[in-house]
A = this chain, B = another copy of it.
Amino acid sequence: MDEIRGRVRNKSLHSKIVAAEEAAAVIRPGMNIGASGFTLAGYPKAVPLALAERIRREKFRINLWTGASVGKELDAALAEVNGIARRMPYQTSDGLRKAINSGKVEYADIHLSHMAQMAAAGFLGGKVDVAIVEACAITEDGHIVPTTSVGNSASYVQDADIVIVEINTTQPVELEGMHDIFLNQPAPNRLPIPIVKANDRIGTAYIPCGLDKITYIVPCNIPDAVRELAAIDENYRAMTAHLIEFLKFEIRAGRLPKNLLPLQSGVGSVANAVVAGLVDSDFEDLTVYTEVIQDGMFDLIDAGKLTFASGTSLTPSPAGIKRFYDNLAAYRQKILFRPQDISNSPEVIRRLGVIAMNTAIEFDIFGHVNSTHIAGSKIMNGIGGSGDFARNAYLTFFFTTSVAKGDKISSIVPMCSHVDHTEHDVDIFVTERGVADVRGLSPKERAKVIIDKCAHPAYQPLLRDYLERAEKSTGYAHTPHMLDEALSWHSRFLKNGRML
């Protein structure tokens, strides 16, 4: 308790320190709860667990709004007691995914940069009622110092009538100073976001709140539920090698500066492997303007190749979080966390000329990308920030292995079973087989390059056959498709467990 009191720097707030159960009791059925958290980082834990217990007894539901995905103490715990009626804007929880794909939870899968604006405008079914935010400290003036993510916390705190702050004593107070909180005016009074370099500071080191606005303060000692990343296998290594070769070619051709442009990489193992792979390259003075800071970026910083990384959250492995905490004094000079409508801002991404690297579930021969659905119907996670970056980047890459589940699934298909990024949005496709650069190409040209460079040999003849017959049957139309057959690969997979 002394440690909590030390972190709540204004003594007048000490009377607001309560147990999680007391804070959770303020939540009423049907409320919109705006929580901190972006990936398995910086999300509240104690109050959600207490809320789940209360819901188990009292049987009611709330709407859960977050930054992005959150850990098991929030999504899984509330889904398990059927406590979530509506969820936005992103999730990666096994339990919640099952509930969404069986009609038990309504899920709106929203571009991460849009969420705060839409919530504040009252577009999502009322405004946020309760903000629950993890913090490492509360300042003398009652402002909130976040932990390992910022997400939408600043916006939710601003909009909510009730603010609950979880002081997490497993998060070091030395995180203070690693955040840059900028809240724009609402339209039509918005001003330019004055970031012109990844390391520009434009806001405050805390979430503006104030002594009066804090309703409850809750102690918490549960660490972020960080997860292991998949091992970097030979497919990941091949994709990274292709990427690096391609970037070098672009530099030689005068189309990219020698130290590249600010890098973004999506969440997950492929993206992390690609970033880690840059360690062995001879690129220098790199910068990162992204959502999530993963283990690979620590490698780049340690190798002296990455001068600065801007994101909205830390998404390390268990070993990575230890490494981060152990070397906080060094990393805090090189890493900054921003609100997700700034980290993912179309304005800033386009201005800086970000190189966007994200992972696809599948893409089709004409260049559309599916990031969210398995065989059209079942959602996996959601679009996350991939659309914010892909649409506005200087160069947009999508990565995937050419086949999945052995070779039962081809990740390159005649037509995507769900489209999240259109043919207009993507420049370069990368699989372990190679790189398809489709900039300025027509759909039929794209198809030939994507099949030749990216598809698996087991599927190349089938894809070529589809394309040729579609060309002939449509008289060489702009995007030749045979609609009776376009989705038959997915149908076959659903029936027989394999696309072949």
Name A254's contact: one of B88, B122, B192, B476 (CB within 8 Å).
B122
Q: Would you list which residues of chain A between 175 and 207 have a CB under 8 Å from chain B?
A: 186-188, 190-194, 196-197
A103 CB–B CB distance under 8 Å: yes
> Taking A101-B477, A108-B440 as contacts, is the C-beta distance between A188 and B376 under 8 angstroms?
no
A478 nearest in chain B by CB position: B379
CB distance from A475 to the nearest CB of B (A): 6
How would you classify the secondary structure of chain A's contact residues: helix, strand, loop or mixed?
loop
Contact B491 A483 (CB under 8 A): yes
> Taking A418-B479, A483-B417 as contacts, is the C-beta distance between A440 and B347 under 8 angstroms?
no
Contact A255 B191 (CB under 8 A): no
Contact B379 A479 (CB under 8 A): yes
Please indicate the chain B residues that have their CB under 8 angstroms from the CB of A107 in the complex: 442, 478
Contact A478 B377 (CB under 8 A): yes
Contact A442 B108 (CB under 8 A): yes
CB distance from A190 to the nearest CB of B (A): 5
Contact B481 A377 (CB under 8 A): yes
Contact A486 B122 (CB under 8 A): no
Which of A15-23, A421-429, A455-463 forms part of the interface with chain B?
A421-429
Name A353's contact: one of B187, B373, B484, B491 (CB within 8 Å).
B187
A26 CB–B CB distance under 8 Å: no
Name A444's contact: one of B103, B422, B424 (CB within 8 Å).
B103
Which of A2-10, A139-147, A386-394 forms part of the interface with chain B?
A386-394
A190, A194, A470: residue with the most chain B Cβ atoms closer than 10 Å: A190
Contact B417 A419 (CB under 8 A): no
Name A440's contact: one of B125, B262, B490 (CB within 8 Å).
B125
Contact A479 B419 (CB under 8 A): no
Give Cα A494–Cα B383 distance, bound, in whole angstroms.
Answer: 33
> Taking A187-B261, A353-B188, A440-B123 as contacts, is the C-beta distance between A478 and B391 under 8 angstroms?
no
Query: What mask results when residues 351 to 381 of chain A are scored 1 for a CB within 8 Å of chain B, else 0?
Result: 1110000000000000010000101111100
> Taking A108-B442, A346-B350, A424-B110 as contacts, is the C-beta distance between A478 and B192 under 8 angstroms?
no
Please indicate the chain B residues that have their CB under 8 angstroms from the CB of A423 in the complex: 109
Please indicate the chain B residues that have their CB under 8 angstroms from the CB of A100 in the complex: 442, 478
CB distance from A208 to the nearest CB of B (A): 21
Give Cα A152–Cα B73 distance, bound, in whole angstroms.
Answer: 52
A162 CB–B CB distance under 8 Å: no
Contact B111 A351 (CB under 8 A): no
Give Cα A336–Cα B125 distance, bound, in whole angstroms.
Answer: 38
A471 CB–B CB distance under 8 Å: yes
Give Cα A487–Cα B353 distance, bound, in whole angstroms.
Answer: 38
Give Cα A261–Cα B189 distance, bound, in whole angstroms.
Answer: 11
A111, A255, A261, A391: residue with the most chain B Cβ atoms closer than 10 Å: A391
| Additional A-B contacts beyond A107-B478, A377-B479 (15; CB < 8 A) | A86-B440, A88-B440, A108-B442, A110-B424, A111-B425, A117-B394, A122-B255, A123-B440, A124-B439, A188-B257, A188-B353, A190-B350, A373-B478, A376-B486, A383-B422
10 A-B residue pairings within 8 Å (CB atoms) = A103-B471, A106-B442, A108-B442, A110-B424, A122-B255, A188-B262, A376-B481, A377-B481, A420-B424, A483-B491
Chain A residues near B (Cβ < 8 Å): 86, 88, 100-103, 106-111, 114, 117-118, 121-125, 186-188, 190-194, 196-197, 253-255, 257, 261-262, 345-347, 350-353, 368, 373, 375-379, 383, 387, 391-392, 394, 417-425, 427, 439-442, 444-445, 470-471, 474-481, 483-484, 486-488, 490-491, 494
